[in-house]
Amino acid sequence: MTFRETTIEGVWIVEPELHEDERGFFARTWDAEEFAEHGLNGRLVQTSVSYNRRSGTLRGLHYQAAPHEEAKLVRCTAGAIFDVAVDLRPRSRSLTEWVGIELSASNRHALYVPEGCAHGFLTLTDDSEVSYLMSAVHVAEAARGVRFDDPAFGIAWPAEIVAINERDRSYADFAPAWVAP
C-alpha cells in the first residue's frame, strides 16, 4: 500500500499496490502493522457498507463523541463519491479545515479519517457503494454531526446535492465546545 499525507494531520489517502497478471490483480487493502508504522490506529472492530441509489446523495458529516471516537478507512467499492474529512480536534492546527478526494471503484483509493474528524460524502454516480472499516463499535448515543454547508468549514462540494436526510440537513452551526478534547 502507498500512504499519502493530506493537509490535515492524521488524514491519509491509502492506495493499493496492484500485483497484476493475466487474471487481473491482487492487492492488500488492510494491514494493521503497516497502518501502525504510519502512526494510524490499526484496531479494526467493525465494518459497514452504505448503498446509495442516486447521484447527488449526501451523507454526513458524522463523528462519534468521546469516549467512543472512531477512526475510519473509507473505500468506494461501486460507483464514485467525493469523500470529505473535517478536522474537529480542538487542539489541532487545522481545526475546521477539510480534505476532499474522489474515491471510486476504478481508482480503488481509500481515505483514512482519524478519531476527532467528521466524515461525509457526496455520491457522484448512481448505485454507489461505500465500505467502512472502523476502529470502534458504533454507539448510537455518541453519534454526532456537523452540517455539510456550515460556513465554518466552507466545503466545496463538486456537484448538486439532490438527496439528504433531515438529520444531516439540520445540524446546528459548528461550535468547538461540542467536541471533547
- For residue 7, which of 105, 111, 123 has the smallest C-alpha distance? 111
How far CA 118 is from CA of 9, 23, 26, 67, 134, in Å, comes to 14, 39, 31, 15, 13
Q: What is the C-alpha end-to-end distance of the chain, expressed in Å?
A: 32
Catalytic residue among 38, 62, 63, 171: 62
* DSSP label at residue 24: E
Active site residue 63: no
- Say how far apart CA 108 and CA 131 lie, in whole Å: 11
Taking the CB of residue 25, how many other CB atoms lie within 10 A of it? 11
- Say how far apart CA 172 and CA 136 lie, in whole Å: 25
Catalytic residue among 38, 132, 138, 171: 132
- Say how far apart CA 155 and CA 49 lie, in whole Å: 24
Taking the CB of residue 124, how many other CB atoms lie within 10 A of it? 19
Active site residue 62: yes
Just list the catalytic residues: 62, 132
